[in-house]
Structure 1
């Protein structure tokens, strides 16, 4: 086997690899060979699937018709596959991703062919059974091919498919699994744009690399950046400011570099979907529960003559205040406007009807009007009072990430509640558990998850921490 087919051996050091003395063989040609092999395999699978489907249904005559159907579907399939990344770097790294993209291309191309055949009235010339069998066989054979090609890709490109190099030039230590490692001082790699010999030495080390990362002091970042720009590779310079700010991206504007440090957790379509669900659910719930709401309000007023509702300032979306409604469960003289003191078991401030509605979560039902008004959502992080404490600290003093939970509207119920994190926060860990669940919810929203949380809430409406 020739030298190009064999990647230069490397010596592992921990999670990284020690780079060889010279440049490493580039993988671009081998990746192209892998793409071409997969492409040819896909063509064979599509044509073979339709040939097999026609033969099974109508014998040799059907096989000929199936081959014609395959030739009709194939150009559309390849066009869609090329545009939906079915032949991309990620498909070499993950056969599952490639199989999924190939199946999507197959479904789109099949639908397109059926659509065109219907409107041109040519579908009567082909066997629908043969076409269906061909699609079914192709849907099985394409993923099978991608799985079998793993060995070929590994043989041609190695385990990582790309060559990554880390240059240690005196900056923060970094260890990337599978990446080659170079010590700039030992290799005498100096980013000096005025020294052609130094640039040649660096260029030989970079040759064959797909991505290079350099860790250096701030004063040498600009010099390395210039060298990377002229090396025709993807080059990165470590800047821990990005990690400190948890930056999401970067851009240039007005002659300045700008770091993107935050975006809303939901896009416009997701917000519209969530709001539509909130309005529909809260409206129907208010209508259905109106007799219960009226009876509870009358019982509260009848017990001590005070108002039925307790209105408290809570922290809502964007860290702004809103007025949250609850059925009053405490005596009027004992109301805690700022929420400085958590309710304890057998709390003397709680009325008899108040103890019942708190235990059954009925006291929270007036927040359906907050949802309808747009201050709250059915599902989201629960809104807290300003003076709420965990142990002897205010909530935001326990963990500064506390303010991140207000990127969405507060909810009538939430992920933390269905996991049992509710009631008094006697210890800092009580808040930490809730905060972790709230941040998890923000990072993985979907309408199906909201529906699942609503269903799960039914199981925790009555709970032993409600007092």
Structure 2
């Protein structure tokens, strides 16, 4: 399929992007030589997770600060003879000042941008300049505050040369990594345009003309037929309608939805957003062609193109890192601390009835993906309902005496700490519902508006709904609705402190289920 001008439409995120004459990687692939890929191939091109630039640059800042500081103090300890505590403080102060100044100058010279990581030769000349400036500044500062005699010249020279050498190796390795990540599409957000027509074409042209954009457009999704929207818009293929977009986002990596409809199309916008806000992605409304103008602070920008923020992916960037560390550390410590309790429960289950101690249950996890959740067995082996096809009720004869005792104290969930370490669950989040149960997908799809917005984050071992009493049976509309309301409140108000509070309250309130 070709464009009217005879050129080939764009392929998104399948082949490495072309480079301009300066060796830079442009934000959009070269559309002139690339055929349209099949939808399955576009999906495969987005399997790897995004590496947000803010996190990559933050990690590089931290690494280079440590490189400079550790090298400086290590050379001092290895070479300079110990004289006094004051000498320690003077050298340590010099090391911290140099490491901080080096980071600040690197920032001023744009050495923490993705383009600098990718272009090694051009960026390392600035690294040499910055590091030389730092060393000259340290010596000048020592002279003016009259402590120059305290410093060893060999220490200064050794630190300067070794710092250049280590930064050379580090930046060279970083350039190889950056090139690899660019080929894999991990340094760019995968985006789709929602809505075709002239608005989408103007938006795409504006994005292509803008420098420093961090997105790659996959294609167009629009409910309108071919008689109203061309199958190719500005070189990008129409991949389907809005329902197909939701399925696409569930089965491949998608980071950004750009709605190209005008803000005056209020009814259609509301219909679209009602379907799309349940997805774990950023949603932006194009403001490029809107005549209605707001204050500058009302806009966010991709390159130089203005957008109105509709929804942000929850728990992203450094918040994701904080939650990941919190989950792994606390879950590992909990497994160690609770190991004797879990062994006693396992022994009691084994003595009470025949069958395995644990069972796995299919549940809906992050982005509607199926996961296997571990639990202590609470039913007799011959009546165990791994699919949760029949709701467990009070006095259910299928439940063993040990299982009933453990369920009242929520200790059946303790094996789910293994799910947290594995990465399927978080410590705190919306509780995952069984696939076939009354809390599952089919029963709830039409019963609670926005139900699947719970799946914008990883499900948890415990959650805000649980400590507020909305746990256990989901046999009424009110119970399901209250669970969802509490889960959405948690997602919108997440913090590590909030997680910690919920964890501390969980053992106190497990018996208030209703």
TM range, smaller chain: 0.3 to 0.5
Larger Rg, first or second structure (1 or 2): 1
Task: Report the TM-score, using the length of structure 1 for normalisation.
Answer: 0.46
